[in-house]
Every structure is written in C-alpha cells, then in structure tokens.
Structure 1
Amino acid sequence: MSSPERQVAATPEASASTSIWRNRPFLILFLTSAFATCGAKVYELALPLILYDMTHSPLTMTTMRSIEFLPNLLLAMFIGVFVDRFSKKRWSQWMVFGQMILLFLLYALVESGRAEVAHFYVAGFLLMAFNYGYGNARVSIIKQVVPKPLLTSANARFSFLYTLIDIMGPAISGFILLLSSLHNGLLITGIAYLIALIAVSFLEKEKAPGAATPQSSFWQDFQAGWRELLSNRPLWMITILVIFLNATSGVYEAMIIFFAKDHLNLDNSQLGLVLSVAGAGGLIGSTLVSRLRKRFPTGRIMGTTILLLGVSYLLMAMAQSTWMLCLSLFLSGMIGTIENICIWTFRQESTPAHMIGRISGITGSIFKLGMVFSIYGSGWVTVWQGPWAAFLAAAIGNLLIFLVYRRLSLWRLA
C-alpha cells in the first residue's frame, strides 16, 4: 500500500529555515502551551485534593477524575467542527480565557466559604473541555504554520514539554501541599492562564485555505469530517487500532500503582521516583523520533513500537523487583512517546489543513473508546488472578494488534 500523501496548502513558513525554533508562530504556541500545561497539571492535582479536604471522601475524588475524562470522550468530535469553522487564534484565546475565569471563580467561592462539591464537578468538566478545545486548535495551527518536513520535530518538542511537566508532577503536588491553603493553587493557576492568554494574543490571525464557510451548516461540516476520515483508509485503520492500543496501555497504567504499592511495598516517595522513570523514557523518545523518521518508514516505526510496547508489558508481568519495574516503565515511556508522535504527525500530514480540527476531534474521541472498559476490566482481572494477569493480557493484546497491523499492510506506510 502506498502512503496517502495528500496535497495541502503551502504555508508562509514552508520555505523558512529548517530549525523549528526559528518559526515564530511555533514559538508563541510553545510558550502558551508551557504556561497552559503547567496550569492544567496544577488544577488536575489541586481539585481532587481540595475536594478531599472538604469531604474526606475517596469516592468524591474518583468522581472528580471520572468527570474530567468525559469531555474528551463526549465532546471532542464536535469541538473539532467549531475549530475548523472559526479563527484558530480567537478560539484559542476563548479557551484559555474560559479556564482562567473558572479558576478565579472557584478560588473566590472557596475563599468566601461558599464552594460546594457540585461547583467543582461542573468546573472540572468545563476546564477539561476548554483544555481540549485549546489543544485541538493548537494542532490545527501547527498544521497551518509549520512546513511538513518539520511537523515531526514540532510534535516532538510539544511531547517533550508535556512529558517534562508530567515528571514535575510530584514536585508540583508537593508545592501545592506546602501552600497555607490548598485553594491558593487555583489562584496561581489562574495567573498562569492569564500569562498564556497574553502569549497567544501575539499569534497572527489566519484562515486555512478552503475552511468551512458560513453557508455550510454545523452538521454538514461534521459529516464532511467523517467522510474525510473514512476516505483516508490508512488513517482510519490506525484510528481503529489505537482504540485497542489505548485499551492495553490503560490496563498497564491502571495497575502500576497497585502493583508497586501492594506487591513491591513502595512508599509514596519511592513510588514518585519510580514513576518519573517513565517520564525520563518519554523525554528520550521525544528526542529520538525525528531521527528515526528520517531513517525508517513511518509504518515500520509504528509497527515496531506496537510490538516493543507488548514486550514492556510482559516485563511487568514477570517483574519481581523495583529494577524490573523501572525497566518496564522506562521502555513503555520511551516507546509509547515515539508511537504517539508518529500517529499525531501522520494524522497532520495526511489531513487537509481545513479539515484538521474535525479529524483531530473525531479521532480523539474514538481513541478513548476502549479505555473505560479496559481499565474497569483490569480491576476485576487483578482481583481474580493478580496484577501479573492484567499485564500479561496487555502484552498479548499488543501482540494481536501487531499481527493485525501487519495484515492490513500498514507496515509499508511511508
């Protein structure tokens, strides 16, 4: 099968330098994302902690986490239509502004003693919806302003940023806990979003060639997005496979903490250090992926990562020590990052610029379909046989996905 190369509109930056760091729109987006991602990490950690401080109920905390997961699953494909219909810059500004206002309102409610659990549930849902809305617009803008040869490099830089902030998660948690009042974290995060709002304002307002027009209805644009995805057979096949890849990774990630604490008896500080190993692997993966794509076809890289991720899951099934746990986490972090960047970049490369918001939104929703069921099922498997059985199931799952991947001839994608 040949690669589905599609003609996309040339961008003003297409003949610019070969260094992604000399691309002004990219730098603005990178700076904006740095503040926005740090802010998102803080409120992802702070909201459950504040709720637990208010209610002392673990159920309230887990409900908060579940609600934060819903926007991506339920709204992503519709958000993509709006991103394609409107100015990407103006949309990004509204998404960042919405998060900033919500955080300031939550802070004011807690400070005045009027905050209720329902306020946090609603705010958590909206915060994650706005966060995804900004993320979709960022992907769309990158497609427009970064020349095709630099898309892998651009995605790798963003992956490096997100992984680095994930590694800083334990440090951020410690910082929040050191605050005199936990809700002060919301005020600090709101200020981070204010800085992000100022940064994104420096973007030039652009409109992708062939973008949706006012004459087309929302549902016509939505249906056009689905037709575009279904007509791009390689991307559609990869999208279906990612459902199962995310399911196996969800099983793996859901059981790591339980395995580390219940079987290896690690305390919280040791667990934080161990989990940072996966982040270190992710950082290395994000620096390697550009070189790998220059030397090997994309299809071969993605197929190899599917197989190697299965190996990392198998290592966890056999783990009897912290060192084996760390090796598995390092490999899964590095290989998973390479795989994700290749998928994101292939999606951008094979999608017309005026469709990228819808394609990103639709695929983003589909990607998550299997995670809820696999994570829930992994709990039952662990109760029945132990965590090793869940890890083994994830490894076997990846092997089967690899065989299907080869069968679909995706291995030969350029």
Structure 2
Amino acid sequence: MKLPKTFASLGFRYFRYLWISSALANSGQYSFTVAASWLIYSLSNSTALVGTAVFATMIPGVLFGPIIGVLVDRFDRRRLLTIAVFSNACNTGALALLSLLGIVSPWVVIMCAFFLGICFNLQMTCTNAIMPDLIPKNTLYNATALQGTISHGAGFIGSALASPILVMAGPGTVFALCFLLYMGAGIQSLWIRTNQTATTLGNLHLKNIFEPVVEGMMYIRRTPALGLLILMVFLHCLLTMAYTSLLPQFIHEGLGADSGIYGSLMMFIGLGAILGNLSTASISTPRGQGILYIMTALASGLTLFLLGLTGTPLLAFIVGVTVGASQAVFMAINLSFVLQRANDEFRGRVASVNFILASGAMAVGNFIYGSFSKLIPPKINMMSTGSLFVVIVVVLILISPTLRSLYKKNVKAQENQGSVVM
C-alpha cells in the first residue's frame, strides 16, 4: 500500500524502525523528566536541585558532543544507537528499583540524569547520521519533518503517560515505564540495517582522539554551505527559540494571567510544531524546500515579535501556534540540508556540531535572557530578538550567494549510495 506523500519516508522499512525507536525513546526521556523533577523536589524541597537535574541532562552535549561525533563516524552507527538506548533502559530500570525500595536520593537522580544526557546525545547524533543511509536523499526533508513531529509529539505522549502514573503510583513506577519505553526502542533499533560504508569505519585510539575532532571542524570550514547552515541554526536558536525562561514572567506581567496559562501556551506551541511539520513534509523539490527555508526563517522572527505584542491569552495561543510551526519547520529543513551536504565520512561529526550549537544556543540564551528579565521585560526581549533575527536573515540573503542558491537553483540531491529497502 502506497503511503500519502506526507508519510512517504515511513514506506521504507528501516527508517520506520528508526522512527518508532525514536518515538519510544523520546517519550521515555520526557517521562523521566516529569518523574525526576517531582522526585527531587519531594525529597529536597529545592528548586535549585531540580534545576541542577535539568542542567545535568543538557551539559553532556557540550562536554562530550565532539567526541560522540567522532565515535559515530568511526564505529557502526546502528550498534551505537542500540547501545545508547539499552543503556538508558538499564539506567531508568535501576532508578525505578531504587525508588521503589525507597533508597534513592536527589544526587542519585541527578547522576542518572547526567548519564541519560550522555546517552541521549549519542542517540540523537546516531539517529541524524543514520537517516540518509535509510532513505533516498530526495526524501530527506520528509524524514526530518517526521522526526520533528515525534520529537514534539513525544512531549505530549511522555507527559500524558507519566502524569497520571505519577499521581496514582509515584515516581518509581514512572521510571519503570521509562524502562519499558527504552526497551521497546532498543528492540526496534536491533532491526535497522544501514548502508554505512566500510571506509567510514575504523579504530579510534585515545592518543589521537582529538585529531578527528579537528578534522571535522576543518571539513565544516572548507564547506561553505555547511558553515552557513550551522551558523543559521545557531542564530535561530539563540534569537528565536531561547524564550522559554521568559514565559512565566511574560504570562504574569504581559498577559495578566496565572500559571495555568503557561502549560496551555506551551501546548499550543507544541501543537503548532506538529502541524507545521506534517503540513510541509510532502514538499520534495529542492527549490520548494529552499523557499520554505527562507520563509520560515523570517516567520520565526516575525511570529516571536508578534507574540511579544500580544496582550491576551487567546491571542497568545493563536500566535503560539505560528511560533511553533515556523520554528519546527525551519529546524527540520535546516537539518535535512546539513545531512544532504555532509559526506558520509564526516556526517556524525557534522550532526554533532549542529546539535551542540543548537542546544547550546538555547541553553545560553535562556540563561542570559532569564538573568536580565528584570532589566529587559520579556515583551521587549522577544520583540527585539525576533526582529534582530529577521534583519540578520535579510542581510545574509543580500550578501550570501550560498544562501540565495538554496531557493534560486535546483540543486540536485545526491542519490543514496546502496539500496534502500521498502
């Protein structure tokens, strides 16, 4: 049976396994976050320790991201993906047992969060590097859009599964749910077969582990399109996606609403991301994707500017849908362009740098904007950063032939090496 164009990538068996594995693993991560935050707060009554746990899941990407990229280029990516997912199954399973026995402490949870962050970064880098091996490159945007859909959808699924279980049975049972989700993801990953070429595989010695890291950086520097795309995603995440820390104050002061609106606004932003990815996933021509890339880049800044202008929850919800849609589509297209242009030999390192700069920019931006929110009100911050990104995009269009080539030329996508199994 032929699938609609929106879901074309799911017609390829091994990508389908990868997609299901990602959905289960990402749902496990969201469920873990819900249970870990609640458990730490109930044990310590400290929001600082809750923040430490969130930080512990994010910092491994900065600390180990370059090395993870090298590992993904030098060793079997599918096997590394399986190791990452099953490791988190063991991690959450052990935490479930300790929680149910009542012998867990906040620092044990934080240590587990740190380990989960390492494995999550390995999982994401492997997933991004594997995708071009499983599907024709002319369907790569469809695949990244569908991956983006489950990334946001997992937030709904993971939270929806974890919240009632947390209330009825406690965090230990939620960690047991995480164990089952990660086990399911690991089993799906075992069935994946990739076309990773033998030339990309090799031995890695500790004495020269930083040499391939430098090689990857130099490769990006020698490839103008990759450098530009990674710069774009960094600026996009720093200026248009680092607003989460501002939302509570924005809702309280700008909208005159209570905390209940916060969850609703986040839900509408997530809904917009899902709808945006699904509605554009069928765009398959390079020029069409290039035009959409520029449009969503501009829309990401403009919609954040408009969100800062809203004065009622209803308007914020409506604009929030457009914020989520434009940002998610931009991120999906940017990832597909990066993966299309990265040679197989360097794809893991390129995907790692892209992931590090995107997540790092959001982390740094949230920290800076949140720290200065008393001096610069959230409304002003969102309007100024959103408009600044629009100005930067317009300037880059005017001065960068590489950026203009994304929508002015029909850049022929390279065909996948090897066969793709339906």
Tell me if both proteins adopt one fold, taking TM over 0.5 as the criterion: yes
Q: Equivalences for 1:51-130 in 2 at 5 Å?
A: 51-130=40-119
Preserved CA contact (<8 Å) 1:222 1:358:
yes
Matches within 5 A, 1:222-233: 222-233=213-224
Q: Kindly tell me: are residues 170 and 40 of structure 1, through their superposed partners in 2, closer, same or farther at Cα, counting changes over 3 Å?
A: closer
> For residues 22 and 295 of structure 1, what CA distance do their matches in structure 2 show?
21
SS in 1 for 2:40: helix
Letter in structure 2 aligned against 1:45:
V
- The within-5 A match list for 1:89-238 is 89-168=78-157, 170-204=159-193, 207-214=196-203, 217-238=208-229
Counterpart position of 2:328: 337
Contact 2:27 2:157 in 1 (8 A): no
Q: Please say if residues 245 and 401 of structure 1, whose CA atoms lie closer than 8 Å, have aligned partners that are also in contact.
A: no
Match of 1:49 in 2: 38
Which amino acid in structure 1 is aligned with residue 104 of structure 2?
A: A
> Are the structure 2 counterparts of residues 260 and 177 from structure 1 closer, same or farther at C-alpha, using a change threshold of 3 Å?
farther
Tell me, in whole angstroms, the C-alpha distance in 1 between the residues paired with 2:61 and 2:241: 15
Q: Distance in 2 between matches of 1:93 and 1:42?
A: 20
1:287 Cα shift? Answer: 1.8
Q: 1:159 to 1:373 in 2, by over 3 A?
A: closer
Indicate if the aligned counterparts of 1:303 and 1:411 stay in contact, CA closer than 8 A.
Answer: no
Q: CA deviation at 1:133?
A: 0.6
- In structure 2, give the amino acid aligned to 1:114: I
CA distance in 1 between partners of 2:147 and 2:32 (Å): 20
- 2:400 matched to 1:411? no
Which secondary structure does the structure 2 equivalent of 1:382 belong to? coil
CA distance in 1 between counterparts of 2:240 and 2:75 reads: 34
User: For the residues of structure 2 that align with 1:38 and 1:188, how far apart are their CA atoms?
Assistant: 10
* Matching of residue 377 in structure 1 with residue 368 in structure 2: yes
Normalised to the residue count of structure 2, the TM-score between the two structures is: 0.87
Distance in 1, matches of 2:200 and 2:85, equals: 23
Q: CA deviation at 1:370?
A: 3.3
- Count of matched residue positions in the alignment of Structure 1 and Structure 2: 397
Counterparts of 1:349-388 in structure 2, within 5 Å, are 349-388=340-379
Q: In structure 2, what is the equivalent of residue 12 of structure 1?
A: none
Structure 2 Cα separation of the partners of residues 349 and 124 of structure 1: 33
Query: Is 1:346 the equivalent of 2:337?
Result: yes
The alignment status of 1:257 with 2:252, answered yes or no, reads no
Alignment check: 8 A CA contact 1:89 1:206 kept = no
Aligned counterparts of 1:380 and 1:207: Cα–Cα separation in 2: 44
Q: Distance in 1 between matches of 2:400 and 2:102?
A: 58
Deviation by residue 1:296-347 (Cα, 9 ceiling, x = unmatched):
4544332222221111111122111112211221111111111011111001
Closer/same/farther in 2, CA of residues 298 and 404 from structure 1, 3 Å limit? farther
Task: Determine if contact 2:236/2:389 at 8 Å carries over to the other structure.
Answer: yes
Flag structure 2 segments of 5+ consecutive residues without an equivalent: 1-6, 412-422
Deviates more, 1:39-48 or 1:396-405: 396-405
Name the aligned partner's letter for residue 280 of structure 2: V
What stretches of structure 1 of length at least 5 have no aligned partner? 1-17
Please give the alpha-carbon distance, in whole angstroms, between the structure 2 residues aligned to 1:375 and 1:203.
37
- In percent, how many aligned pairs have the same letter? 17
3-state DSSP of counterpart to 2:211:
helix
